Amino acid sequence: EDQVTQSPEALRLQEGESSSLNCSYTVSGLRGLFWYRQDPGKGPEFLFTLYSAGEEKEKERLKATLTKKESFLHITAPKPEDSATYLCAALGGSNYKLTFGKGTLLTVNP
Amino acid sequence: DADVTQTPRNRITKTGKRIMLECSQTKGHDRMYWYRQDPGLGLQLIYYSFDVKDINKGEISDGYSVSRQAQAKFSLSLESAIPNQTALYFCATSETPGENIQYFGAGTRLSVL
């Protein structure tokens, strides 16, 4: 059974304090690893897709990386507006079913 | 306007009532999905549809049914609502072929009393 585990469950940072979120996955035939951002009362918003180990993608203060067992979302010099829940999801061999982690609630204090 | 629109945004209903949640999209995608999100749990797939004539059960389909009225419209029904169906419901779409990126609506918050 495909599994995705995110850690920590919650992370509180001061503005400018860089850190990383972890997503470990057990998926047969990984076709893609997805990161989403979810704000309260809203739907998940797509951030990145990674397809193979060693791949990296960046967007503003966020950088996502992928190994054969886990993915990291690095946040550099975060701002309060980066506060949100970050979801990781893995697409396995079925080619349609995303297995989601429970998310990491990030709070960035000014 | 949003690419994936869900209605209503909020709904309160009573146990035993039939309720329909609606989803429409302007992205032109073939695939549509319904998910449920509960506090402390990941998003769980209820039903998915690859095209108008192809509808499939997800991991938690009991107590739910769906209708794909057109490429752009996918509705979720609760035949007889029960309190443990209180949750956030999301519709999503993805393109075929493509990168399998799923795009989500803003969600419907459903409370069953």
Nearest Cβ partner for B106 among A42, A97, A99: A42
Nearest to A24 by CA among A97, A73, A84: A73
N- to C-terminal Cα separation, chain B: 32
Quick one: average pLDDT of B6-22?
97
pLDDT band at A63 (very low <50, low <70, confident <90, very high): very high
Query: HEC profile for A1-40?
Result: CCEEEEECCEEEEECCCCEEEEEEEECCCCCEEEEEEECC
Share of chain B above pLDDT 90, in %: 88
Asked whether the beta carbons of residue A44 and residue B40 sit closer than 8 angstroms, the reply is: no
Distance from the B87 Cα atom to the nearest Cα atom in chain A, whole angstroms: 12
pLDDT band at A88 (very low <50, low <70, confident <90, very high): very high
The two structure tokens encoding residue B107: 């969600």
Share of chain A above pLDDT 90, in %: 86
Quick one: average pLDDT of A33-45?
95
All residues of chain A having their beta carbon less than 8 Å from the beta carbon of residue B102 are 34, 46, 98
Best to test chain A binding among B3, B35, B37, B43 (most A CBs inside 10 Å): B43
Distance from the B88 Cα atom to the nearest Cα atom in chain A, whole angstroms: 9
What pLDDT does residue B70 have? 94
All residues of chain A having their beta carbon less than 8 Å from the beta carbon of residue B42 are 4, 87, 99-103
Quick one: average pLDDT of B68-87?
96
What pLDDT does residue B109 have? 96
Backbone angles phi and psi of A80, in degrees to 5: -55, -35
A96 contact B CB<8A: yes
* C-alpha to C-alpha distance for B102 and B94, rounded to whole angstroms: 5
Asked whether the beta carbons of residue B42 and residue A43 sit closer than 8 angstroms, the reply is: no
What pLDDT does residue A92 have? 85
DSSP B85: G
Q: Are strands B44-51 and B54-57 parallel, antiparallel or unpaired?
A: antiparallel
- For the cut 80, the answer to whether the pLDDT of residue A10 exceeds it is yes
Share of chain A above pLDDT 70, in %: 99
Contact B45, B37 (CB under 8 A): no
